[in-house]
Structure 1
Amino acid sequence: MAALKIFVSSTCYDLNIIRGQMRTFLSSSGHEPIMSDYNDVLFDPRIHTHESCVQEVKNADIIILIIGSRFGGTAIPKITSNVDIEGLKSQTRGTKIFDTIDKLSITQLEILNAIESDIPIFTFVDSRVSYDHHFYEKNKNKGIIDQLDFPSIDKKDTAIYIFEFINFLRLRSKNNSVIDFSKFSDIEDYLRKQFSSLLQRLLFEQRNKVVEEKRLDFLSKQIEDIKTAILTTIPSDELKETAKGAIQFRGIIEFLLSFRNIDNIETIALKNIDWQQLITELGIVEFSETRDKRRKYSKRLFAALIRNDRKFYITPYELSTLFSFISEDWNEFSKLPDQRKTALLNAIKDNFIARDINRGIIFIEETFEEYQRDLLEQADDEE
């Protein structure tokens, strides 16, 4: 039976007792702890040990981060240069840690790579460090921070890097929970409740998924019956084929017609090219996900299609839907004869324009990074 792989990220020297207690807790709970000081990490002799730690992070299911008094060793430049700094900045308002990239520690690089891999992170901060962090926050803009000693921090010159990393984590747009602890039982109690709650939610969502699948299956059968009834009333075989095509390809055609700022979109729609070539024709260089600012309280993520100038389009689809159903519909539509594609395009275009509603995608006149920062500020205001 596969066990949950849990990577424990922290400095070792000052937290060796906590790490030992953590290992016992995780193992006794049936999980598989991954800890460098217990030889759980493969240290590939062909690469630096820092690279080995970062690579091992990506194999974990969960990350537990413990922040104590020490900063730890500075990461080698090679792994620092591989981090998507701009992408990470767009997810938080605590970006000061990136002002000195060369000062990032190996522990911090492990967490940054975990974030890029979208791995859940549970962060725990020694309560003494947390107290000094609050003091730092109240006084950091008064020009006296460099003169202060923080009792909880082992080396004075590392304080700012530890405190700003805490800011980076707690000011993220998601997975930003930072928990104080004074003894290991604080961590243990919290994790037991969280793991139990996660299991309960998984079971609940699985039950709901089954119910939704049955409901969708029932609706699909009803829709098929309606389509059959409508098509049987059309006398002409040619019109019947056009009607079938309009039903089948309406989604992909309306998706393309939504690119209102692309003058030759109808010409592009008639090309016999695959999905990847279509994306290139549309000027898209990157995919991501974002919320829609117009839906103020919605937490749903929509696929974002980013251009070379970093301005972008928001689609009404999740990224997985875009890469499955929409791309598959395009690959099938593009292979139709030109005459039939033109007929379908014209038939759907007239109805699409007449309704004058936002369908498909919406162009955003600001960069993706600016948009993400606005969302973070909006979320902060909502709190």
Structure 2
Amino acid sequence: MIPNVFISSTVEDLHYLREGMREAVGELAYRPVMSDYGEVGYLNPETAAQSCYRSIKQCQIAVIIIGCRYGEPSAEGGVSVTHKEFRTARDEGIPLIAFVEKEVMSFKKVHHANKNENGIKNFPRMDNPSLTFALLDEITASPSYNGLIPFTNVAEAKALLKKQIADLVGQSLTQIFSPMRAEIKDVLAEIKTLRQEFVDHQKNDPRFLQTVRFIIDENRAKGFRYLIEHTIGPIDKAVSILFEAKTFDEFLERAHCKLIVKEDLRLAAEANRAPTEIFGAMSFGVPSPDDPTGTARADFVIRKNQTVEMNPAAHSHFDWTYHALKMEIGNE
């Protein structure tokens, strides 16, 4: 998805800068959203200002430009449209990039330095200094995206905007990929541990790796790995039990599981009857035990109390799979 970038400011006095910012956003192949370019839909019964606030919520980045002119405070709330647009972006958690004319930043320092002495109330070209400075203070007091970026001309503002968006994209990518790197490290560590277990077991019994390969091969042992992981846990733990048990039924018994073969077992019915008791379930097609040319549905359910219920097709499938494995490793 191509990000929408909302550009907020007073229009008449900053028209020259708005065009430059629009160009910068377009050069990044993002979509600028600006009221003076017809990119804000004005739908009744909304006011023009309300339409802008709604449009901000549909954007991924908000850019606010603050110059000498504050704008007309609204009757509702007593703040300008630009001020309210900032609040909308802040409340929606939309990343905000705030640009301020350097002259205004200088005036702000003078204003705050003389605040306790009733301060200087009038500044050149500023229509409402107190509300402008209040807006700047509100931005810096925000819990996030609270930086103020001073600028002197269009070229500088364009370059700074591109850098800020690049930094924002970089942070977003880091947030996405850092957890993935951590997960990959965990997986690699697990593989390393499992590999070491393979090596250790192979030293004592060369059948270990052969057995693991058989279990994880879904073509030869369909559903067997799932059954093991939801009853016994780690595959290496199951292998040691498998070496000792002669039959599939004995294998489950040694794993402290109770096996129940039910002629009329249906997964959907079991899930509806007692969904909170089910720890795992599986259904898949297998050759029919009664008709060599046909197929049957193998269903089994693993309950939280270590009871394994399966229909005859599933039991026959696992019995045959277990026998094939024992034959392969020479442990029959």
Fold equivalence (TM over 0.5)? yes
Q: Structure 2 length normalisation: TM-score? A: 0.56
Aligned residue for 1:141, secondary structure, equals helix
Counterpart of 1:65 in structure 2 is 64
Alignment CA distance shift 1:37-1:334 (3 Å)? same
Which residue is 1:132 aligned to?
107
In the TM superposition, 1:54-133 aligns within 5 A as: 54-75=53-74, 77=76, 102-133=77-108
Deviation at 1:46, TM superposition (A): 2.1
Alignment of 1:71-220 (within 5 A): 71-75=70-74, 77=76, 102-142=77-117, 144-145=118-119, 148-154=121-127, 158-203=128-173, 207-218=177-188
Q: Assess if the C-alpha contact under 8 Å between 2:5 and 2:60 holds in 1.
A: yes
Instruction: For 1:74 and 1:173, locate their aligned partners in 2 and report how far apart those are by CA, in whole Å.
Output: 25
Report the alpha carbon displacement of residue 49 of structure 1 after superposing the two structures with TM.
1.2
Measure, in 2, the Cα distance between the counterparts of 1:230 and 1:137.
Answer: 70
Whether the 8 Å CA contact 2:121–2:129 is kept in 1: the answer is no
Distance (whole Å) between structure 1 residues aligned to residue 66 and residue 31 of structure 2: 21
Higher relative contact order (CA 8 A, sep 6+): 1
Shift of 1:51: 0.9
C-alpha change, 1:3 and 1:133, in structure 2 (3 Å) is same
**Partner residue of 1:281?**
none
Kindly indicate whether residue 14 of structure 2 is the aligned counterpart of residue 41 of structure 1: no
Corresponding residue of 2:30: 31
Change (3 A) 1:205 1:149: closer
Distance (whole Å) between structure 2 residues aligned to residue 182 and residue 71 of structure 1: 18
Task: List per-residue Cα deviations over 1:312-344 (Å, max 9, x = no partner).
Answer: xxxxxxxxxxxxxxxxxxxxx99459xx99xxx
The one-letter code of the counterpart of 1:191 is: L
**d(CA) in 2 for partners of 1:334, 1:163:** 60
Paired amino acid for 2:80: S
Cross-structure match for 1:277: none
Q: How many residues align?
A: 221
Q: CA deviation at 1:214?
A: 2.5
Per the TM alignment, residue 195 of structure 1 is displaced from its structure 2 partner at its CA by 2.7
Gaps of 5+ in 2: 195-228, 242-251, 258-273, 279-302, 305-332
CA contact (8 A) 1:128 1:152 kept: no
Deviates more, 1:9-18 or 1:26-35: 26-35
Paired position in structure 2 for 1:314 = none
Contact 1:132/1:152 (CA < 8 Å) preserved in 2? no
1:140 alignment partner AA: K
Structure 1 CA distance for aligned equivalents of residues 186 and 233 of structure 2: 15
C-alpha separation between the residues in 2 aligned to 1:76 and 1:228?
70
Measured against aligned partners, the alpha-carbon deviations of 1:348-375 in whole angstroms (never above 9, x if no partner) come to xxxxxxxxxxxxxxxxxxxxxxxxxxxx
Larger radius of gyration: 2
Partner of 1:10: 9
> What's the Cα RMSD here?
3.6
Aligned to 2:260: none
Give the SS at the match of 1:60: coil
SS of the equivalent of 1:103 reads coil
Q: Quote how far apart the aligned CAs of 1:11 are.
A: 0.7
Name the amino acid aligned to 2:87.
L
Per-residue displacement from partner, 1:240-292 (whole Å, max 9, x unpaired)? 68xxxxxxxxxxxxxxxxxxxxxxxxxxxxxxxxxxxxxxxxxxxxxxxxxxx
Write the letter of the residue equivalent to 1:148: K
**In 1, distance between residues paired with 2:49 and 2:172?**
34
1:178-232 residue CA offsets vs partner (Å, 9 max, x unmatched): 0111111221121222233344445555554443332334567779787567799
* 1:53 positional shift: 0.6
Change (3 A) 1:19 1:124: same
Shift in Å, 1:109: 1.1
Change (3 A) 1:240 1:123: farther
- 1:174 partner SS: coil
Query: SS of the counterpart of 1:64?
Result: strand
Secondary structure of the residue aligned to 1:148 is coil
2:50 partner amino acid: E
Structure 2 CA distance for partners of 1:152 and 1:240, relative to 1, 3 Å? farther
Task: Determine the C-alpha separation between the residues in 2 that align with 1:55 and 1:220.
Answer: 48
CA distance in 1, matches of 2:176, 2:36: 37
1:240 and 1:126 mapped to 2: Cα distance?
74
Cα distance in 1 for partners of 2:233, 2:144 equals: 43
Going from structure 1 to structure 2, the CA distance change for 1:112 and 1:227 (only over 3 Å counts) comes to same
Residues 334, 11 of structure 1: alpha-carbon distance in 2 compared, 3 angstrom cutoff: farther
- Identity among equivalent positions (%) equals 24
Structure 1 SS opposite 2:116: coil
More deviation, 171-180/37-46: 171-180
Question: Against the structure 1 CA distance between its residues 217 and 153, is the aligned structure 2 distance closer, same or farther, given a 3 Å change threshold?
Answer: same
Cα separation, 1, equivalents of 2:17 and 2:171 = 29
Q: In the alignment, which residue of structure 1 is the partner of 2:248?
A: none
Higher deviation after alignment, 224-233 or 104-113? 224-233
Q: Deviations over 1:36-88 (max 9, x none)?
A: 111110000221111101000001111110001112133453xxxxxxxxxxx
CA distance in structure 1 between the aligned counterparts of 2:19 and 2:79, rounded to whole angstroms = 25
